[in-house]
Each structure stands twice: as structure tokens, then as C-alpha cells.
Amino acid sequence: MKPNKIEKVLMHALFVHLHHNIDKAVNFEAIKKLNSDVDKIWPGALVIGPGDDAAVFQMPNTEGLFVAKMESHCSPCVPRPYDAAATGAGGAMRDVVAMGARPIFLLNFVGTKPMEEKVMVGPCGFSGKCTCGKCVEMTSRERLDLIMKGIRDMCKAMDVFIVGGGLSTSFSDVVPAVVVAVIGKLITEKPITKPAKAVGDKIILIGETGNDGNDTLFRAGLVKEMRPAVALFDEERRTMEATLAAFQTGKIRACSDLGAAGIGAAVCESARYSNFGAKVDLTKVPLKVKDITPEEILICETQARFALQVSPEDVEEVMKAIKSKGGVAAVIGEITKDDKEIFEYDGKTVAVIPNEPSKEILEGLKKEN
């Protein structure tokens, strides 16, 4: 059976796009060999990494574990430099939180055109000529100020230090480089990892879903207007505190933050990494807006969200902890013994994503994109 449009979009993101398949571009075996050699000098210092939401490590001769993540939001800084930089910082912080840590330090790197060169900021920024009437021409310095303000405001909201970074003004491309790295301290007894742990575990979504961050749907022609993800400062802080409170119960078995491809990617990656499946009812997802389609609920990249997995008997305790910090959450599905992830809305199937798409399907996805 041929996949429908939304299934194609999600499968392309999961199995073809390099954002979710870095190992197809980077030699991870060489990195594994390097880490193995270094481990002889610092035995046991690297606990997890690379491969999960973030790296977990121990500083030699110190107590406790640290968590680190680097993330870029380069292309989104063309239409919306402030929100893009803020969501890049927030996304890296969420990856750190997802492993069971509180973020503390941030470093950033920005690469842009020479300071006095003109840049186009807005929907037409990639073409360099505005046809929508909504763009603003500014200097590279003015755009840099917006980028740094976005990073700074997110750090203020999350009580995270900016401890350093780098700047280059030798970039000639339309797209600036905007990269952040976040380091945090583990607050849980052990790192919390992404792969699902047991059939029957319930999936709890923390945070509300909107129709922003719809870049993937826009490129696939499933929506008419591109709406980049909006920075949610208060929500990021509230969701982080609610998630950390859930961790303190000791009942969380797996966790993913929701970034690229939203609920779809978070659920599919967690289930298939353990050779499980999942079933999700999208009508249960807490929403920020009323006018939203099932496809948008499935794949939009609204910020300030986490997906947790807990045993059925622990749901009540975990939900109580989440709500104690003002978090908005709901049980949206469960892990199954199937080999696919099923997403439904109002009793109708929206998408079915196999853990291992056929070669025919994968070849078709590569050709279409």
C-alpha cells in the first residue's frame, strides 16, 4: 500500500533527511574508535554519546554527571532571526533536560556577513528581493543584534549563563550560521534515554501544540503559509520545571523533547529504537489554537514540549507532579508490540509509519525530494 502525503513527509524526515540520519553523512565508526582510544586515558568519563538527545559525561575526579548538546538554527534566522535564535537555544536546552538535567551554561557561535552589508529579513529573505511587503532590509549588525537578543532572552527565561562563544563576519551566504551549545547538570539518579522501555507504557505529552513550526508541511505542499516556530519563553520555563518535577518521581522510563517533525518524530524514534511500536490518539493532544489540522498536530514543531513514557500504574503520580509546577499535559498514547507507529484522530487513521520502510518506498522518497 502506497503511503499518503503525511506519511511520506514523516518517513522522509525519519529515514532520508540528514537531520535525523547524521550517520549517513558523518563517520560515526571513526568517532566511536576515537572515543574508545580516549577512554583509555579517561576511563568511564563518557557515559552516553553521541546518539541520544544529548551527551552525558563525568568530569574526572568529580561527583555527578553533566549533559551537553549543540544545536543550530541557521535557515530559520533568515525570515525570523530573533525567534529562530531563541528557539535554537531553547531546543538545545530541552535536549539537555530530556536526559534528566537542568541546563546551566550556554556557548554560541554566529557567522554572518560583514557588519554594514545589507540583509533581507522576512519571508522573502532567501531570494533577496521582497515581493510580500512584509520584509525589512537591515544591516548585518542589526540582524546580529536580533540574533543575540533572542539567545539572551531565552537564557534569561531559563536562568542559563552565557559563558562564551565566537563570531565571524566573513560569511557570504544568505543564511547566517547560528549555533549554540548547552551544558547542564544531571538531577536524576541515572540519565533518562529516548528509546522505549516496555510494551504498555503510556506516552504523556507535556506542553501545548500549535500550528507554528510547519516548515516540513509547507515544503511538502500541505499548507499554504510557512509559519516558523515561535519562541515561547514562559512556556519553556514552565514546561522545563514540570518535566524536572516528573523526573523527581523516579517513574519516568523514557523521554524525548519535541523538535524537528514534532510528535511524529519523537514517538517514532523512541519506539523503533527498541523494535516496538506505538499508538497515538492526536485528539488527546493539548492545543494552543483551535484552527489546526490533524497533520499539523502530528508534525508541527511548536516549542516547549516533551514526551514522557511511564508505566500505567505511575501515570497518576507523574501527572500530579507535572501539574504541581503548572505544566499542561495529557496521556496521548502507548507503546505497543507492533512494528509500526499508528497515529489516529477522531477514530480515523492519519498516518502509519513502519519501523523499516521497504526499499521501494525509501527510493521513492529520495527521488521526490
Residue-wise pLDDT for 67-105, tens only, equals 999 999 898 899 999 999 999 999 999 999 999 999 999
Average pLDDT in the 345-363 region? Answer: 93
Give pTM, 2 decimals: 0.94
Q: Which domain holds residue 315?
A: 202-368
Query: 318 and 265: one domain?
Result: yes
**Domain final residue, candidates 131, 161, 186:** 186
Query: 211 and 180: one domain?
Result: no
* 32 within domain boundaries: no
In angstroms, rounded to a whole number, what is the distance separating the alpha carbons of residues 343 and 75? 29
In angstroms, rounded to a whole number, what is the distance separating the alpha carbons of residues 103 and 55? 13
Looking at the DSSP bridge assignments, the partners of residue 167 are 110
Query: 157 and 215: one domain?
Result: no
Average pLDDT in the 118-133 region? Answer: 91
In angstroms, rounded to a whole number, what is the distance separating the alpha carbons of residues 74 and 178? 5
Query: 130 and 218: one domain?
Result: no
Q: How far is CA 291 from the centre of its chain?
A: 23
At 271, which CATH number?
3.90.650.10
* 28 within domain boundaries: no
Q: Which residues of 115-136 are buried (b: 16+ CB within 10 A; e: fewer)?
A: eeeebbbbbbbeeeebeeeebe
* 20 within domain boundaries: no
Query: 320 and 352: one domain?
Result: yes
In angstroms, rounded to a whole number, what is the distance separating the alpha carbons of residues 365 and 358? 11
At 81, which CATH number?
3.30.1330.10
pLDDT (tens digit per residue) in 279-336: 999 999 999 998 999 999 999 999 999 999 999 999 999 999 999 999 999 999 999 9
Query: 221 and 363: one domain?
Result: yes
Inter-residue contact 280 to 243 (CB < 8 Å): no
Query: 218 and 362: one domain?
Result: yes
Query: 109 and 231: one domain?
Result: no
* 294 within domain boundaries: yes
Please state, in angstroms and as integers, the Cα–Cα distance from residue 309 to each residue in 115, 196, 314, 318, following that order. 47, 7, 10, 10
Query: 247 and 333: one domain?
Result: yes
* 50 within domain boundaries: yes
User: Number of structural domains, the chain?
Assistant: 2
